[in-house]
Structure 1
Amino acid sequence: MKMQDLCEHLDVVQKKIGYWFDNEDLLLQAFTRSSYSSQYGGENNEVLEFLGDRVLDFYVVKIIADRFGFVKSQSDYYDEENDLDEYCIVAHKNEAAFTELKKQIVSNETLAKTIDKLGLFKYMYLGDTDLENPKFKDNLIKVKADLFEAILGAVAIDSDWNQDELQNVVEYMLQIDDFLEDVDTEEPRPSKFQLENAVTTLKELSEKGRCSIPEYDQSEEQVLMNDGSLMWECTCYIRSWAMKHTAYATSKKEAKRYAAYLVLCDFYGLPDEFAEEDNE
């Protein structure tokens, strides 16, 4: 690749990274390898790379927390009497899953691909010890990743650690939405609100005095449905909540579960996960 003088392309580079420098010498330093500074003098990008590495980690974690974090009281499933206002990351993802996502985003491979996509490597200042080293090409991924981090370090110093500017550069350069678009943000329903546990949950709520004893009225024979099928019918009634729901299923046990589940959904304002299936 033919290298180009960054001084002649400062506007192009600043547009690519989404930030305009007050002190353009910092941008030049970010693109300067130690091999060049050792040969020609001046500063290299190693300190800026050290700073940018910390900036990158912080803002990737912050972006994940902003997108997928919540306090439990914001959850549809919040139980005011039993839950604490604990902070969570989207419940179906545990710490390990987000750790892996973060590692993918900040990996040398990802950063190097970003530098290639933005076409920034050709503006680096390289000394003869790099250019004449046959093994230098084997280390290009690390060199490009260091450049990415050095740019962030330069932005940090130039902006006086302006949080909005730093986060914007991280998001702009990485196109971070591409990494996050496949993360499922739907919070899984806690086990106590799931169909298979509905009867037990109502029983436990009544034992704690939070509702009256559930009353179930089950059909003695199967009921003929509009589509010609035969189903068992069950009605669940909670007097203290003034709530009654009737459900139909292929077994008495499932009909009872579904009726209890519908009452729970109604009382807690939760969607019936099976409504679409029933309507199809």
Structure 2
Amino acid sequence: MININGKLVEENQASLSIANRGFAYGDAVFETIRAINGKVMFWEDHYFRLMASMRIMRMEIPASFSPEFLEKEILSLVKENGLDTHAARVKFFAFRQEGGYYKPTTREIGFIITAEELQNAFYLLNEEDYEVELFKDHYITSGLFSTIKSNNRAINVLGSIFASENGYENCFLINEKKNVVEALNGNLFLRKGDKIKTPPLSDGALNGITRKKLLEIIKTLPDLSIEEASISPFELQKADELFITNVICGIQPVTKYRKKKFENKSAKDLLSKLNVKARLG
């Protein structure tokens, strides 16, 4: 089942108009959310990021879009799909309703929610080989717009095709200043000694929920320090550890970048702490 504007419909009966502004102009934002046993993980953070993204896109937020209403819509779909006792990946799309050529003729907002099962309730560390390369064909633009989850993901798509064609698991993306911003599907963290760095939002890094939670966790640890600072491509091979974060996998250690191989000591420790935070809500 899929939730379209509050109505549950069978997946094979769901349809999207070719005039839909999300499809036609990328006039949409979305949230990827993890639900466990009928509970939305980090819902407050997801909700406020969604609202911030809609404001950046100058969407007129409906009065009905309260945290309680949207959470209820998500969980009703999760339950309808028989996933309320499982882990689920939920996607919430918000878009301006169709009308207008580039310039919208309506400010009304529509939404679509999808849910599918995930194998594991909480995060497990993937210690298999995970080689990453730099994708340099196109740049992310530094600034506020790049921090939101809009459906303008052409660079990520092209980067994933490049990775697939060349045998890499992922790619790092750079901005117009040639700073490393993030991976194709998550935020980047770099550890050198007892210092961890992650690109700042001002460089164009996605305002990731897992990124936010890890910043909170690392700030409480006496043996590690955290800094939000630009990362140059030259720093990647000097690092002791690189890892990628997102709400679905949690933390993904990078095992190899070019000729450099990396350990995963901090990733393993931080993942256990992230699971604790997820359990506590």
Into which bin does the TM-score normalised by the smaller protein fall? under 0.3
Please report the TM-score for the alignment, with normalisation by the length of structure 2: 0.21
Hey, which of these two has a bigger chunk of strand by percent? 2
